[in-house]
Structure 1
Amino acid sequence: MRLSIWPGAGQRYDDILEVAKHAEATGWDGVYVADHFMPNAVPGRDPRGPMLECATLITALGAVVPRVRLGTLVYGNTYRHPAVLANMAATLDHVTGGRFTLGVGAGWQVNEHEQYGIELPAVKRRLDRFVEALEVLHGLLRRPVTDFAGEYYQLAGAVCEPKPVQSPLPILIGGGGEKRMLGIVAKYADAWNTWGRPDLIAHKSAVLDSFCALSGRDPASIARTAQALVVVDGPVPDVAFPVIGGSVAVLRDALSEYQGIGLDELIVPDGLLGQGSDRLKAMDTIRSLV
């Protein structure tokens, strides 16, 4: 099982760079960045807090942090035209020498759309648009010329050059909806990602397998990735997101469970790992358990 770190983009760039460089130097496999412009407006969190922009940040890290894979969790489709995103992704793959994973999702965070006047359609229309965006991304990143006549996007003799270093550049889709999203994953994704403890990931992975069977897709061709907040040694907070750990022994068991269900990659947000040297020490402990 691969192990990657997810430094929160609400920190100073120097702190994020420290985490990424430490991961590179100590055998971690990847570094991911989320795509948001502000914190989510939830109780106990200041929605006016700082947030570094994802595309700029991941490119900066890719230029100065060698070896590890770089990825996005995940670019919101509502924020950028997919043709623009395809060119960004191809360029970043060249910057990193072929180490980029293009993580995309349908978009969801309400306060960003409200403040910036960006449309956030109802779920069905949002997913319809996302499917069209995936068609555009596949075309521009994997074919010489793309023509597409959709309801939301129209391309005529469109090119994206140079193509990515990787052929194909892997597309990761974030989402766990069992009615439709996992079916979209089965058709378009090279990798899948969602939040969850091992039992939930095993369940949703089985649902994804069933969608793969319906579409004639080999389920082994889609890498399974997941994340949960991690506590190395301390109390487990009562938060909305899934949390693993609390002690090193409990954390070891949880990591073993992820491996046991066949998870390809665990992505660790750094939000509960502390700061400075404490965070680096927590990273070393996690790395020693996988």
Structure 2
Amino acid sequence: MRFGLFTSMGAQTWSGVLDLWRHVEATGWDIACVTDHFMPNTPEREGAMLEGWSTLSALAALVPRIRVGTIVLGNTYRHPAVVAKMAAQVDIISGGRLLLGLGAGWQENEHEAYGIPFLTLRERLERLDEACQVLKSLWTRRRSDFDGRHYRLSDAPLEPKPVQQPHPELMIGGGGERVTLRIVAKHADHWNVWGGPAVLARKGAILDEHCAAVGRDPKTIRRSANMVLLITERQDEVERLAETIAARLGRHASDARDTCLAGTPDQIRARLRQLQAAGVDVLFIPSLFRPQDALRRDLDRFIAEIAPAFR
């Protein structure tokens, strides 16, 4: 397995993010990704939110070893041709280390605030499907033509090309079982979702069915889970964490508990074995939900005491 940090851009400073990424690189983590939002998901819309793409460009130059990426871009915010161009440049800056994560877009308040059409869920998913095709075409062809319902290209160049061949790793984030996972089966190199062993096993089986329907080997898709880390011997702390996740993410209680990578080191190792059995290749630990100093202590313990047995 590989292990990564899911770095929220909310309530952060540039110096704090840079320090954290340099720390996780030095302590042996494999990947770090930024989020893509413009304001907190609250009615008041108050609070700092670093812009993800520009932050990632700087991090790619200053943090030289780990894989760097987005988890995940909102497709509604930018035309996919612009994303393809930006991604190619970050892949060049990083020397071929970009993980390009993309989702349909979900945070309604920032669309409202900035006048970005939020659209229906169906249309957002249609656009995500087309965006994946636009990205891959621009990354791999000398000139691209595309005539979709939502996006069009006409004799479109993209130079210079990304370093990674045939193109940067394309990760699609989301767990919608009828449409999103079909888009994953058609286009993704990597699938990412919130959840633990139960969620990944259930949804992974559905992804396998979509792969069969489109004639794709499901083993060609890397699978990653986002789970919240807490090293503790106290069950009441685990339950409070699950309640926090359920409240923040709107998860059912069972899925919120499944999203907790919480307990003693032995209990966490058992959860990781279950993740592996569910076909998970990569684990992301989000920086959300917990105070940064306490989380950093657990990140250090995890990578030193728990992760080595799973590499």
**Matched length:** 286
Q: From 271, 275, 285, give the equivalent of 2:288.
A: 271
Give the superposition deviation at 1:273. 5.0
Residue 6 of structure 1: how far off its partner (Å): 1.6
Q: Does 1:212 align with 2:205?
A: no
Is 1:22–1:280's contact at 8 Å kept on the other side of the alignment? no
Bigger helix fraction:
2
- Using the TM superposition, give the Cα deviation of residue 15 of structure 1 relative to its aligned residue in structure 2, in angstroms: 1.6
Shift of 1:41: 2.1
Report what 1:281 is aligned to: 297
Instruction: Please give the per-residue CA displacement for 1:38-72, whole angstroms capped at 9, x wherever unaligned.
Output: 11127xxx631111011011111111001100010
Instruction: Tell me the secondary structure at the aligned position of residue 171 of structure 1.
Output: strand
Answering whether residue 55 of structure 2 is matched by residue 39 of structure 1, we say no
Comparing 239-248 with 139-148, greater Cα deviation is found at 239-248
Q: Deviations over 1:208-243 (max 9, x none)?
A: 111111111111111001102111226122122432
Matched, 1:103 2:120: no
Distance 1:79 1:271 in 2: 22
Q: Which residue of 2 aligns with 1:4?
A: 4
CA deviations on 1:242-261 (whole Å, 9 max, x unpaired) are 32203333322222221232
1:190 touches 1:222 (CA, 8 Å); kept in 2?
Answer: yes
The aligned amino acid for 1:53 is E
The correspondence of residues 194-233 of structure 1 with structure 2, limited to 5 A, is 194-233=193-232
State the SS of the aligned residue for 1:289.
Answer: helix
CA distance in 2, matches of 1:37, 1:251: 34
Aligned partners of 2:110 and 2:58: how far apart in 1? 23
- 8 Å Cα contact 1:170/1:191 also seen in 2: yes
> Of residues 159, 163, 175 in structure 2, which corresponds to 1:165?
163
In structure 2, which of residues 41, 47, 53 is the aligned counterpart of residue 55 of structure 1? 53
The verdict on how the C-alpha distance between 1:274 and 1:251 changes in structure 2, with shifts beyond 3 A counting, is: farther
Unaligned runs of 5+ in 2: 250-258
**Matched residue type, 2:298:** A
- Contact 1:41 1:47 (8 Å CA) reproduced: yes
1:9-20 paired onto structure 2 within 5 Å: 9-10=9-10, 11-20=12-21
- Per the normalisation by structure 2, the TM-score is 0.88
- How much has 1:30 moved relative to structure 2? 0.3
- Decide whether the 8 Å contact of 1:105 with 1:173 is kept in 2: yes
Measure, in 2, the Cα distance between the counterparts of 1:101 and 1:216. 25
**Superposition RMSD in Å:** 1.5
Match of 2:5, SS? strand
Give how far 1:129 is off.
1.5
Say which SS state the counterpart of residue 24 (structure 1) adopts: helix
Whole-angstrom CA distance in 2 between matches of 1:29 and 1:86: 24
Instruction: Name the structure 1 match of 2:254.
Output: none
**1:3/1:267 contact within 8 Å kept:** yes
Tell me the distance in 2 between the aligned counterparts of 1:73 and 1:186.
18
How do 1:96-245 and structure 2 match up within 5 A?
Answer: 96-167=94-165, 168-233=167-232, 235-236=237-238, 237=241, 238-239=243-244, 240=246, 241=249, 242-245=259-262
Unpaired runs of 5+ residues, structure 1, are: none
One-letter amino acid of the counterpart of residue 203, structure 1: R
